[in-house]
Amino acid sequence: MHDHEHELEYDDDDCGCNEEIPAAEVGQPVADFSLKVYDPVEGFFGEMDMEKIQEAGKWTILFFYPADFTFVCPTELADLATKHDELVKLGFEVFSVSTDTEFAHLAWRTTEKLLENVKFKMAADPTGKVSRYFGVYDEESGLALRGTFIINPDGIMVSKEVNFYNVGRNADELLRKCQANVHLRANPAEACPAKWVPGGQTLTPSEKLVGHVYEAMKK
């Protein structure tokens, strides 16, 4: 577990955020934070705690989306659900996150048939504090953009993707990126080229590779 430089804390005035806390950035430690969740497997409300996840040596996926009871969102969560078991085997904790409450998550999960296979915890960020921290909060609408963040067991953000409201994501590509990051954590001297999949060829950066990637990829 890494030593956190700060916890995610906020003032109650104005927009509700403490301007002194920097936004989450790729390659940097994320702040400690917690969110209430609805657990569709256990059927109860609970809490996700970033610090406890890292103490357990887990990777984390935060899958922000605009709102429950909308249109593209259930297709995304259903798609993510098809990869959930594989992500768990890789050591990931998966959380969908929106600015709805955990109570709305329960109602949506119960009524929307597309979500019947969703097993990951559904986190609630009704104040938008965590969404602001990750740079996906839309102040005009009060909703979160489609943001996907991968955080390693040391609490370092290693990947982020942000889409506007009208473009859904692809869980196949998310799984591929997770596989690549797990591989690189175990093999830090390597790098994964475009479209790398498990078992595929990697690159070992060195002065000999400069200007000769083509030849290396042909081996």
Burial class (CB in 10 A: 0-12, 13-18, 19+), 207: exposed
Phi, psi for residue 85 in degrees, rounded to 5: -60, -40
Packing angle between helix 72-81 and helix 171-186, nearest 10 degrees?
A: 40
Rounded Cα distance between 131 and 139, Å, is 10
Dihedral of CA 100/97/82/168: which sign?
positive
For 145, the 3-state DSSP assignment is: coil
Catalytic site residue from 15, 17, 73, 192:
73
Cα–Cα distance list, 14 to 1, 7, 17, 71 (Å): 34, 20, 8, 31
| Structural tokens at position 109 | 């999960």
> Measuring CA to CA, which residue among 163, 188, 194 is closest to residue 176?
194
Q: Is 73 a catalytic residue?
A: yes
Active site positions, annotated: 73
